[in-house]
Structure formats: structure tokens, C-alpha cells
Amino acid sequence: MTTSVVIAGGGPNGLLLACELALAGVHPVVLERLPERAAQPKANGLVGRVVQALDYRGLYERFSGSSAPPVPAPRFQFGALPLELSSVDSNALYTLPIPQRRMEELLEQRAHELGVQIWRGHELTTVSQDGARVSIGVTGPRGRYELAAEFLVGADGGHSVVRKLCGIEFPGITDHGFIARSGQVSIHPPVAVPGTGELEVAGVGRLRPATFTRTGNGMFTYGMFQPGRYRVAVYEWAPSPLEDSTSMPLDELRDAVRRVIGGDVPMSEPAGGEPAALRRSTGINSRQADRYRQGRVFLLGDAAHVHSGVGGPGLNLGMQDALNLGWKLAAEVNGWAPEGLLDTYHGERHPVGQRVIMHTRAQMALLSAGANITALRELFGELLRDTNNVRHVADLMAGADIRYDTRTSELPHPMAGRWMPDLVLPAGNETARVAELLHPAVPILLDLAGRADLAGTAKGWMDRIKVITAPTADRPADAVLIRPDGYVAWAANPETPRAAAGLQHTLQSWFGAPAQAHIPTEG
């Protein structure tokens, strides 16, 4: 069988990519080796720009159950130090609590609505490629078979078989400085203080959820993500060697908590028959694929990068990889991608992955043991009393400090390469917010000043982009060209020299040659 795109891995990132491709008219096959979704709990929510990105794709309401647009978090933490965000302008640190299993269910449902084929119980086992196609060996419920595809995407997690089979290096470090244990458990009154989410631990005092208790022996944190169900995590410094485990006894978690905080937290198996998801891990990997693309094969999500989970950055990074790759790969399959477009995936997303590895390692350093670290925390805490520093850290965690290359030699408009703000459009337009314009994942030329010269320039690309004219006096630019992933490709002010020519150049460099020739006229 031959198909345009095969995605190996039906986790959240592979499924989101499948939806993106299908929106652009490319129907991939998703191979997922598990016959059924894994019961083991993973993420508890999303943190960062991705929450807005889902809103821009019309998925936020499904994920949150709310029809109102997302609002940024009033506070968060960096390395267990408080980040007070309420006074930060344009705070991009959005949070959305949702269990990963539910996220995957919703994305799978969306993928089915869009006509994606998801083959469960099918495991990719071999990969080879030449200049024209990728050959993929698969072991499915009825045995082994071969698939041929124009492109293969490895969204097959941190142990990615695709990455290994393609010989893509995964350099980085494994930090063995502590042992982490976690689980999802029931904690009952009087230790669980009714109605507050707090724990009252004899000999220790009152502990608050979503905060870190750092002691001479390690660190303890917990949160309640469903009524009566607590996620407990405890880290011990300088452990003696032990194997990783996903079947650790509950007593082991209880004992580790006692050693670290110096008091007893009675825990039992969670109510409702859900698994306690007890896990021991003895090393934290911070690793990144040295190439996100090798010929016709791409890597995405955990297959491309792994790091500590502190601050919950994994899906903010991986899902935005999917949004970045989706429209570019679809453009290639649909035959209009300009030269070099597919290479911008690595060019844009690899540096973002590097920054996540940097800030998660910095946070792990702040969480480590010792008097020097205590001093460092004190200093860092002082720096975080300055709103500018809080904004810097919040943007870093949100992935909002990204400015993509604008592929032009001209001095770009300040909006170009950055996230498109969710402007409210003037009354009388079919849609009320920029976010809604992007639901179909089609590039938009948003003309906010009635610039006929610019709308005219876009005529040759009308098979690929949509022009929306919504004149308003309150505008950040005369016109903005928005990519399907929500980033601004180009923008112009009234004083921008040769705006129409600049727009034409940008349209060509992101969206290929025009379907019909057009000579720009200057407005």
C-alpha cells in the first residue's frame, strides 16, 4: 500500500499532527503499536502558548469544556520559586488542566471526524528511504507487511524506534543525582484537610498543593487533579543505585515521603479502580535529536526531545512541533511548498527545544540539595520580585520568546516572526476574534486598513490563503500575513516602504509560486 504520510505513534503529538494534515487535505495513516490507549497516567495538563494555539485551532472548548477564550494564569512557579504573573502585561503563561488520556481521546475523536485512519496494534519495525519514498515495515495483528509513503513522521515517544532506525543521534545527559518516585493515591482526613487541598502532617505542619517542600534529604510535591485523587512526587538526593520501575510498591512511596519531609502521609490505592501509577525513575534525561529531519523522515514531540518534567513543558513543546510541521508537510504533499520550507521545521523548532532543555535543567539545579543552592534560590527569589524578570521567565516557560526567521533581507515589522495576538475584530465581521479565523488552518492575510494594494497582491495565492478585510482604527499594523500555526509571516505599517513587493516576496517564500502572475502596485 502507498500513502502520502505515515505517522508512527498515536500519542498526543502524533494525533495532533494527523489532524493538522487532514485539515490541509492530506490524510495520513497513524500507526499505533498499542491495541488500546495506555492506562498509565502521564500529563495532568498543558502549560504555555499551546493553550492559545489550541484555541486558534478551535480545540480549546473541547479540551476545557468552556466556550470562553483562555485566560493566562495569575501565578505559577519556576524551580519551586513563586512567579507572580498578575502584574505582567501580555502574560503568555496559560495553563489548562486535563489528563493526557482525555487529551488523546479528544484528539483521536477529532482525527476520526477529519477522516484520519488510526491503525491500533500496528508497530513500525523497519524504515528505509530513497529519494522518492520511505519504505516502512510494520507488524500488525495479521502479521508483517510493508507500507510505502512519501513521508514518515516519528512521533513514537522518547525511545523512538524511527529515530534509532534512521541513525539520528540523541545527545545530552542523564542526571543520576536523585531518585524520583511518584504515584496517584488517596489521602484521607484528617491529613487531607477538607475543602482546602492542603495536607496537615504531624510534626511537619501544613503543606499546600502545587508547591515544593525542599529539605536536606530531597523534595516533595503533590497536587489534586481529580476529587480525592492526589498525585504525589518525591525526590531523594544522592540515591544508592536502583532500577527504574512502573510497579513499585505503595509502601516505597510512603517511606520515601517520610524520609524527605520527616513526617507520615498515610496513602492508599486510589478510589474508583484507576491505577495508582506508581513509578520510580533513577535518571532524568535531557536529550535532543541532532536533526529533526533526515530526508523524508521527520521527528516530533518526545521522539525529538526529552527533558525533566518540571513545570510541565513537554506538550507545549511537542504540540507546537506538530502545528509547525503540519502545514509545511501538507504544502509539500499538495505540491506548492517553496524550496527549503520543510527545512524550516528543524530550523525553527530545534532552538525552541534547546531552550526547554535549558530552563528545565536550570529548574532542576534550583531544586537540588545543598547550602550553595539555598543561596542561589535566595538570590533568584530576589530577582523574581522584578516584573521584567518575571516576564522573561514566564515567556521562556510559555515558549513565547520565540521569534522565527522571517525569510526576508528587509528589516521586518516588529510583529513578524512572532505569535499573532488574538485581536478582537471590528463589529460586522463574520468572526469576532483572530483565533476563530485560524480554525481551518489556512494562512490569512488580515487587512486591517482597507489596503487594496495588498489584497490585490495576494490574488495569485487565493487557492492557498484567505484574505480577510476588517478595517479598524485600533490596529497594530495595516496588514498581517498569518501562518496556519498562528505566527506572523509578515506585517506592514503605513510607512513600510514597498509594502506590496515585500508581501509578494513573503508570500512566495512561505507559500510558493503564485497560481497566476501578478505585478504589485504600490499603495
Interface ranges with ligand FAD (CB under 6 A): 8-14, 31-34, 42-46, 100, 123-124, 155-157, 161, 301-302, 309, 312, 314-316, 318
* Least gap, CB of 266 to ligand FAD (angstroms): 23
* Least gap, CB of 75 to ligand FAD (angstroms): 17
Cβ–Cβ < 8 Å for 482, 434:
yes
One DSSP character per residue, 381-399 reads: HHHTTSHHHHHHHHHHHHT
Residue nearer to ligand FAD on the CB measure, 156 or 478: 156
Cβ–Cβ < 8 Å for 182, 43:
no
CA–CA gap between residue 50 and residue 95 (Å, rounded): 9
* Least gap, CB of 36 to ligand FAD (angstroms): 10
Residue with cell 523512538: 160
Residue nearer to ligand FAD on the CB measure, 33 or 451: 33
Cβ–Cβ < 8 Å for 20, 323:
yes
* Least gap, CB of 167 to ligand FAD (angstroms): 16
Cβ–Cβ < 8 Å for 156, 124:
yes
Residue 466's nearest CA partner among 435, 444, 499 is 444
* Least gap, CB of 402 to ligand FAD (angstroms): 17
Dihedral of the CA atoms 292, 293, 298, 301 (nearest 10)?
A: 10
Contacts 24+ apart (CB under 8 A), 225-228: 225/44, 225/45, 225/97, 225/99, 225/184, 226/99, 228/186, 228/270, 228/271
- 145: its cell numbers: 507487511
Residue nearer to ligand FAD on the CB measure, 100 or 457: 100
Residue nearer to ligand FAD on the CB measure, 265 or 278: 278
* Least gap, CB of 254 to ligand FAD (angstroms): 19
Residue nearer to ligand FAD on the CB measure, 156 or 348: 156
* Least gap, CB of 38 to ligand FAD (angstroms): 7
In the bound state, the residue with its beta carbon closest to ligand FAD is 11
- 427: its cell numbers: 463589529
- 396: its cell numbers: 521562556
Residue nearer to ligand FAD on the CB measure, 99 or 456: 99
Cβ–Cβ < 8 Å for 503, 479:
yes
Residue nearer to ligand FAD on the CB measure, 46 or 437: 46
Residue nearer to ligand FAD on the CB measure, 321 or 348: 321
CA–CA gap between residue 290 and residue 313 (Å, rounded): 20
Q: Which amino acid does the sequence have at 296?
A: R
Sign of the CA dihedral with 148 first, then 153, 159, and 164 last? positive
* Least gap, CB of 34 to ligand FAD (angstroms): 5
